[in-house]
Structure 1
């Protein structure tokens, strides 16, 4: 089934997962962020922080996982599929960390198109670090700038979600996907 693949992105700690959970509670089809899963799988294999020790391998695993999500979204019988981050997020993070990567990353982003991108701006009042989120708020702001630039480079015009409570942000997103 043809459906709209809608990415919700933003720097770390901007409220993406809270919105995804709210959308899911409302009956929307959502695919969750996979970076924590990749990190936890690496930790089971004895690599404490794969992202820090082998950034290209970590990014390759993220690209594979997000590509699998993209293809899975195509199979879902739902008008809209919301994704917590998209393929260009991988490139944005690698650019932020000045990590060299093969052309495959760029080509994958060009070949797999999303219908709408919502971006959540950095918001210090809700930002929290944890075991898998080790960036400072200042780093999160810089990552956000890379996300905006990367999505624009791939031809998207990200819609910025206003800072507000989860319900209002979710309503904003839903009201901006209607034709």
Structure 2
């Protein structure tokens, strides 16, 4: 199950809450790549070379998918192959459908964090502002839908309520 959407929209915080509730999670490839690149030459930073960054994100997401926890419960991905393929499409013009052809799709429902200026914070790994985050969100929403995914927009509410919303939507929590 993928969580995608606006940078700074609360995906990582929600994943932490889902993990606290016993679900397996896979952290965002992009943040891991940025941290590694900041320790190295920085050639694949998204603000230096967006196409190289997207290609690395695709490779990391493919590895994450191949080594994701298996079992009877849900595994939640903070972004993944589709986000990387859509970033590569935006940066280099390579169609996401072609990039994704070798990979099995994720679950057909994707949860999207909408733009939420009140919680968006730039940091060492997220240097872009709200306008760029909104443009990215719009590309992701359109891209996921074009690839046949059902996009469910998360409410702007507490992390606990967001977790309940997700778990109810996937049938892991009874309706209140």
Range into which the TM-score falls when normalised by the shorter chain: 0.7 to 0.9
Structure-1 residue corresponding to 2:126:
133
Is 1:47–2:42 an aligned residue pair?
Answer: yes
CA distance in 1, matches of 2:88, 2:115: 19
Question: Partner of 1:51: helix, strand, or coil?
Answer: coil
2:76 to 55, 76, 82: 82
**Structure 1: gaps (5+ residues):** 1-5
What are the residue-to-residue correspondences of 1:1-179 with 2, within 5 Å? 6-47=1-42, 50-73=45-68, 76-95=70-89, 98-102=90-94, 106-110=97-101, 111-115=103-107, 116-178=109-171
How far is the alpha carbon of 1:93 from its aligned partner?
A: 2.9
Structure of higher RCO (CA pairs closer than 8 Å, 6+ residues apart): 1
How far is the alpha carbon of 1:27 from its aligned partner?
A: 0.7
- TM-score, reference length from structure 1: 0.86
CA distance in 2, matches of 1:120, 1:131: 21
Structure-2 residue corresponding to 1:3:
none
- Equivalent pairs, count: 170
RMSD across aligned C-alpha pairs, in angstroms? 1.9
